[in-house]
């Protein structure tokens, strides 16, 4: 048999790429994604204002067993903590930050270890805090359709995040 050189996988290509036609489809996709998560995982949520990052995160948290009726946006608190079934969940929004120092000071790295699963909106504010094991999810509006989103799941920082 001829020896074939092994081609390294292209880690910049999305693992999954899909069109979501409604909020319900985003929720269903997020629930499926949640089942791939384990304590210690960090998920960076990319996308513009209103792309659906919080909708996605809330669906992930419900699928992880979070029972809280209210899941307020962490835009002002920066971190919201929840109890899941077999994990704790930290939902973060770094939108208002200008760098990682502030996050370091509030001990953000503790949430990137078991028993936590850490979901981060606006991760681009402090990319230096994220390592290569981070899972990346990118949501984007499609054309001018109010209901349709494109989702990509990646193992590296998305282009034009």
Ligand X SMILES: Nc1ncnc2c1ncn2[C@@H]1O[C@H](COP(=O)(O)OP(=O)(O)OP(=O)(O)O)[C@@H](O)[C@H]1O
Site residues, Mg ion (CB under 5 A)? 53-54, 121
Q: Is residue 54 involved in binding ligand X (CB under 6 A)?
A: yes
- Taking residue 123's Cβ as centre, other Cβ atoms within 10 Å add up to 22
Q: Which is nearer to Mg ion, 93 or 152 (CB)?
A: 93
Q: Which is nearer to ligand X, 53 or 136 (CB)?
A: 53
Are 16 and 153 in contact by the 8 Å Cβ rule? The answer is yes
- The interface region with ligand X, picked from 2-10, 16-24, 79-87, 101-109 by CB under 6 A, is 16-24
Q: Which is nearer to ligand X, 50 or 99 (CB)?
A: 50
Among 1, 4, 49, 132, binds ligand X (CB under 6 A): 49
Q: Which is nearer to Mg ion, 80 or 134 (CB)?
A: 80
Angle among Cα 47, 48, 53 to the nearest 5 degrees reads: 50
In DSSP notation, 132-147 reads TT-EEEEEEEETTEEE
Residue 58 CB, nearest distance to ligand X (Å)? 8
Distance separating alpha carbons of residues 80 and 157, to the nearest angstrom = 24
Q: Is residue 26 involved in binding ligand X (CB under 6 A)?
A: yes
Q: Which is nearer to ligand X, 25 or 102 (CB)?
A: 25
Distance separating alpha carbons of residues 143 and 159, to the nearest angstrom = 19
- The interface region with ligand X, picked from 53-61, 96-104, 106-114, 123-131 by CB under 6 A, is 53-61
**DSSP-based three-state secondary structure for 83:** strand
Residue 49, preceding peptide bond in cis (omega within 30° of 0):
no
Q: Is residue 55 involved in binding ligand X (CB under 6 A)?
A: yes
- If you ran DSSP here, which 8-state letter would residue 49 be given? T
Residue 121 CB, nearest distance to Mg ion (Å)? 5
């Amino acid at each position: 048999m001829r020896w074939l050189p092994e081609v390294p996988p292209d880690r910049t290509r999305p693992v999954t790429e899909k069109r979501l036609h409604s909020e319900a489809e985003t929720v269903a996709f997020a629930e499926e994604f949640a089942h791939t998560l384990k304590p210690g995982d960090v998920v960076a949520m990319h996308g513009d204002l209103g792309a659906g990052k919080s909708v996605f995160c809330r669906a992930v948290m419900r699928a992880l067993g979070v029972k809280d009726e209210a899941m307020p946006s962490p835009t002002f608190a920066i971190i919201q903590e929840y109890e899941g079934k077999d994990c704790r969940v930290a939902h973060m929004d770094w939108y208002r930050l200008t760098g990682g120092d502030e996050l370091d000071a509030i001990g953000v790295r503790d949430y990137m270890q078991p028993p936590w699963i850490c979901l981060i909106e606006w991760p681009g504010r402090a990319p230096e805090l994220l390592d290569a094991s981070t899972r990346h999810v990118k949501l984007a509006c499609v054309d001018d359709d109010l209901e349709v989103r494109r989702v990509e799941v990646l193992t590296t920082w998305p282009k034009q995040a």
